[in-house]
A and B are shown apart, each in its own frame.
Chain A
Amino acid sequence: MKNPFDDFRDHPTTEREIPLDSIIQSRNRVMSNIIRGYEMLLEEEVKELVWLVQYNTVIKAYTLAEKAVKEFDYRAEDIEEFCYELDSTDKIPYLITGPAGIYISALCNYAQEEEITLKLSDLKTQINLLGYRLPVGKKVVVEGNLGDFTGIGMEGGELVVEGSAKNYTGAGMKSGRIRIMKNIGLHTGEWMMGGEILVGGRVRGLGKIVDGKVYEDEKLIYPRNYRQSNTYY
């Protein structure tokens, strides 16, 4: 029988790509790079069996994360998308909040954009350690709540949380500014050596602060604080 499609013998069998397709493909490519970097980090960190926030552990994890994120290009919105990918566990096998936060911090610190907004209010889990080593000239705005160790070891950047943060916020920060719109947990500013923490709501407890300033509802509570460490209000 005659081929009924003979008229189309010279027509290309691949479809013309529409711009949206290439955008989606490009985004998928970037996301898979970010996820691959995170998986590499996890492969190393999983050897520790139990991930503890210790000085050496965090530094080691961040060094690995830094190495991974320098390998590919990405944009600020990809970081937010990665947070949601982490939250939906079908693509990424497991979420360990420590390494995840370190990795997201590295992504923020090495992003091309100076100001990054992360809309995380719909996340089911709260990310720890976000803002780690945020450098001078970088501003990260988070819409939603964050977990423990927010903004630790900050190096001059500005972290704005339009929500609450938990314990050890600003621990070990050297300089920069952390602005928390709502409340903050215990051990705030533990071993901080400079910079400012501004809290719009309540500060549940301060840590052992070396230097820097902490404000509660626009009132300076450190260094002029008279409260004892870990005093519960």
Chain B
Amino acid sequence: MAQNHYRETIRGMYDFIRENLYFNRPDLEIKGERFNSALIFSLLTGINRGKELIIGEPGLGKTTSAEYVGSLLYRIPIGIVWGSEVSGHPEQTEEKIIGRPDLGKLNRGTEEVVWSNFAQIPVKIVDEINRLPETKQSMILDGVDRGNWEYLNEMIINEEYCLFATANYQDRGTNTIIAPMVDRFDVEVESRHPGPNIAYLVGKFDQKDRILRSPKAERSLQKILTSKLSYQTKLRQMEEVCDGYGEFLGKKLGIETVGLQERKAIRAEIGRLELDLDANAFTRMLLAELSFCHKYGQKRSVENCEEGCHFTGYLCREVRNCASNRLPTSIKTYSQALAWLLGDAEVDVEHIKAITPYTLAHRIQWKEEYLSAKEKDTRDHPFQIYLAKEAVSTVFNRYGEQSEHLKSALAVGYRVFNGESLEPVEGDHPVYFEIKKDLGLEE
């Protein structure tokens, strides 16, 4: 009962944003339902405590979509969300991003940190992250990854947070997002142009930003954030204000929101959803293709396998780098969240298929020859997402041909691993070789 209520609340937020704040076309179909990918993934990111990279042309709602989702899902007045954002520009400093010394106390010989709003609030938005110089991107790596923010000798740890970073396409003012930072993003989505007719509506409703404003709640929260209280005390007080803001939203807009305990309950429900065997086996097959190298043992970005390998037709031949261990976590958590949102009892292969391209798009480094061969393809998505969708579709076709065989191979693997004397199941795919490696039967 509670599960349905929470789900309806979250779906209500999606509908509210779609109808009133972020106008765009649905561009993603999952199990017969159509969603806007930027909006649904932002919502899943917020629920999941995830990290999302939103790409797109300037002015197409990358930042604002994240602001709306963050504000509603965490009950943070949008004015505070605005005031907590980090802007990516070359002159950005650690003191503006994370915290600074309390200058008054420093003059009196005491070191105390004044934490930035960005470090303290759970909704973290980095606007135009690729305008941050590469050295300054490194400053936020740990905070982004684990939620621990350090300055001088002090540290705060965010128990609950999510990150939205926006990035424009490459121009003169942009830098490369460093590889460790890229890998920390769970998903990449594009905030697309909504088309001329919907874009016209965007211009017509130009007061959207005011809808989620609450100057009173914003002042209260700002006061707590700048106070000298301990971070834990601040969190408790912030929660009270946020709950009040939630009530305000309910009365003013008729939109139901969720508080901290409810978000925890939702995450617990999501975490209980298991992947069915097809989703499980398909994910393993995909990971095998993205990490396997017959010649050199595993994919390494510094090594290039030669032509003529038996596995030339698989993804391992087309990619340069190896899949990181963050990839399966992203696939699993986002697929669980999606299954929960759709009201499904377990995660199936359709959820995995829908989620995976967005978890892969920014992580795969394709070989130049593959990019050259594909860049002129007719497509509806940005190149990276298009390639990832193609890759997932290709692997899924392969999975369809041998799903029973693979599941049987994994079942035999379980028994051999437990000491039974059985022959491992052979097959013509990297995943069967990886199973043998795990069983210590590598040729």
Q: Which A residues contact B (CB, under 8 angstroms)?
A: 3-9, 11-16
| Cβ contact within 8 Å between A8 and B277 | yes
> CA separation between A4 and B412, bound complex, in Å?
12
Return the contact of A5 from the options B275, B404, B410 (Cβ within 8 A): B410
| Cβ contact within 8 Å between B407 and A8 | yes
| Cβ contact within 8 Å between A11 and B410 | yes
B417 within 8 Å of A (CB atoms) = yes
> CA separation between A15 and B277, bound complex, in Å?
14
| Cβ contact within 8 Å between B404 and A15 | yes
| Cβ contact within 8 Å between B412 and A13 | yes
**Nearest CB to that of A6 among chain B residues?**
B414
**Nearest CB to that of A4 among chain B residues?**
B438
| Cβ contact within 8 Å between B413 and A8 | yes
Q: Which of B418-443 contact A (CB under 8 A)?
A: 418, 422, 435, 438
Q: Mark B264-281, 1 if CB is under 8 A from A, else 0.
A: 000000000001010011
> CA separation between A4 and B405, bound complex, in Å?
18
Q: Which chain B residues lie closer than 8 Å to A4 at the CB level?
A: 413, 417, 438
> CA separation between A16 and B277, bound complex, in Å?
15
Q: Which chain A residues lie closer than 8 Å to B411 at the CB level?
A: 5, 8-9, 11-13
Minimum CB–CB distance from B147 to chain A (whole Å) comes to 27
> CA separation between A6 and B411, bound complex, in Å?
8
> CA separation between A8 and B438, bound complex, in Å?
15
| Cβ contact within 8 Å between A8 and B414 | yes
Q: Which chain A residues lie closer than 8 Å to B405 at the CB level?
A: 15
| Cβ contact within 8 Å between A5 and B407 | no
| Cβ contact within 8 Å between B417 and A13 | no
Q: Which chain A residues lie closer than 8 Å to B435 at the CB level?
A: 5
Identify whether the interface residues of A are mostly helix, strand, loop, or mixed.
Answer: loop
Q: Mark B317-331, 1 if CB is under 8 A from A, else 0.
A: 000000000000000
* Number of interface residues, chain B, beta carbon within 8 A: 19
Q: Which chain A residues lie closer than 8 Å to B93 at the CB level?
A: none
| Cβ contact within 8 Å between A5 and B277 | no
| Cβ contact within 8 Å between A11 and B277 | yes
Q: Which of B394-409 contact A (CB under 8 A)?
A: 404-405, 407-408
Return the contact of A14 from the options B277, B408, B414, B417 (Cβ within 8 A): B408
| Cβ contact within 8 Å between A3 and B417 | yes
Q: Which B residues contact A (CB, under 8 angstroms)?
A: 275, 277, 280-281, 404-405, 407-408, 410-415, 417-418, 422, 435, 438
> CA separation between A13 and B412, bound complex, in Å?
6
Q: Which chain B residues lie closer than 8 Å to A12 at the CB level?
A: 408, 411
> CA separation between A77 and B435, bound complex, in Å?
42
Q: Which chain B residues lie closer than 8 Å to A8 at the CB level?
A: 277, 280-281, 407, 410-411, 413-414
Q: Which chain A residues lie closer than 8 Å to B275 at the CB level?
A: 7
> CA separation between A4 and B438, bound complex, in Å?
8
**Nearest CB to that of B410 among chain A residues?**
A8
Minimum CB–CB distance from A15 to chain B (whole Å) comes to 5
**Nearest CB to that of B275 among chain A residues?**
A7
| Cβ contact within 8 Å between A11 and B413 | no
| Cβ contact within 8 Å between B408 and A5 | no
Q: Which chain A residues lie closer than 8 Å to B413 at the CB level?
A: 4-5, 8
17 cross-chain CB contacts under 8 A = A4-B413, A4-B417, A5-B435, A7-B275, A7-B410, A8-B280, A8-B281, A8-B411, A8-B414, A11-B277, A11-B407, A11-B408, A11-B410, A13-B411, A13-B412, A14-B408, A15-B405
Q: Which chain B residues lie closer than 8 Å to A5 at the CB level?
A: 410-411, 413-414, 417, 435, 438
Return the contact of A15 from the options B408, B414, B418 (Cβ within 8 A): B408
Minimum CB–CB distance from A18 to chain B (whole Å) comes to 9
**Nearest CB to that of B281 among chain A residues?**
A8
Minimum CB–CB distance from A5 to chain B (whole Å) comes to 4
**Nearest CB to that of A9 among chain B residues?**
B414
**Nearest CB to that of A3 among chain B residues?**
B417
Minimum CB–CB distance from B355 to chain A (whole Å) comes to 19
Q: Which chain B residues lie closer than 8 Å to A16 at the CB level?
A: 404
> CA separation between A4 and B436, bound complex, in Å?
12
**Nearest CB to that of B422 among chain A residues?**
A13
Which 10 interchain pairs have the tightest Cβ spacing? A5-B414, A11-B411, A5-B413, A8-B410, A8-B411, A13-B411, A3-B417, A15-B408, A9-B414, A13-B412
Return the contact of A3 from the options B280, B404, B414 (Cβ within 8 A): B414
**Nearest CB to that of A10 among chain B residues?**
B411
Q: Which chain B residues lie closer than 8 Å to A11 at the CB level?
A: 277, 407-408, 410-411
**Interface contacts beyond A8-B280, A8-B407: sample of 20 additional A-B pairs, CB < 8 Å, sorted by A:** A3-B417, A3-B418, A4-B413, A4-B417, A5-B410, A5-B414, A5-B438, A7-B277, A8-B277, A8-B281, A9-B411, A11-B408, A11-B410, A11-B411, A12-B408, A12-B411, A13-B412, A13-B415, A15-B404, A15-B408
Q: Which chain B residues lie closer than 8 Å to A9 at the CB level?
A: 411, 414
Q: Which chain B residues lie closer than 8 Å to A13 at the CB level?
A: 408, 411-412, 415, 422
> CA separation between A202 and B438, bound complex, in Å?
73
Q: Which chain B residues lie closer than 8 Å to A6 at the CB level?
A: 414
Q: Which chain A residues lie closer than 8 Å to B408 at the CB level?
A: 11-15
> CA separation between A44 and B412, bound complex, in Å?
47
**Nearest CB to that of B280 among chain A residues?**
A7
Minimum CB–CB distance from B298 to chain A (whole Å) comes to 16
**Nearest CB to that of B414 among chain A residues?**
A5
Minimum CB–CB distance from A22 to chain B (whole Å) comes to 15
Q: Which chain B residues lie closer than 8 Å to A7 at the CB level?
A: 275, 277, 280, 410
Minimum CB–CB distance from A126 to chain B (whole Å) comes to 42
Q: Which chain A residues lie closer than 8 Å to B407 at the CB level?
A: 8, 11
**Nearest CB to that of A14 among chain B residues?**
B408
Minimum CB–CB distance from B360 to chain A (whole Å) comes to 22
> CA separation between A13 and B277, bound complex, in Å?
13
Minimum CB–CB distance from A4 to chain B (whole Å) comes to 6
> CA separation between A3 and B281, bound complex, in Å?
15
